[in-house]
Amino acid sequence: MDDPEHKPSLLDRLSALLLREPEDREQLIELLHSSYERHLFDSDALSIIEGALSMSELAVRDVMVPRAQMDMIDIADSPE
């Protein structure tokens, strides 16, 4: 394939067209929704994946909970 005189076959060109990877986030989300519609995974999996993708758009301060707002237990306490 590194040969400059080699021309891709029809099969090579078709597979490159059909099997190409998404170029941006929108195309990836479209691919995920298409996969969901074809029942390749359920709505819970779709929600988890979309949530994970949206996390990359957030700053740490958007996700973290201040210590004063946390409910904590002592590790030495009994489970009761």
Is residue 8 over pLDDT 70?
Answer: yes
Residue-wise pLDDT tens digits, 46-78: 999 999 999 888 898 888 999 999 999 999 998
d(CA 31, CA 21): 9
Judge contact between 22 and 31, C-beta under 8 A: yes
d(CA 17, CA 8): 12
d(CA 7, CA 13): 10
Task: Please state, rounded to an integer, the average pLDDT across all residues of the chain.
Answer: 86
pTM of the model: 0.55
Q: What are the residues whose beta carbons fall under 8 Å from the beta carbon of 41, sequence distance 6 or more?
A: 35
Confidence at residue 48, expressed as pLDDT on a 0 to 100 scale: 95
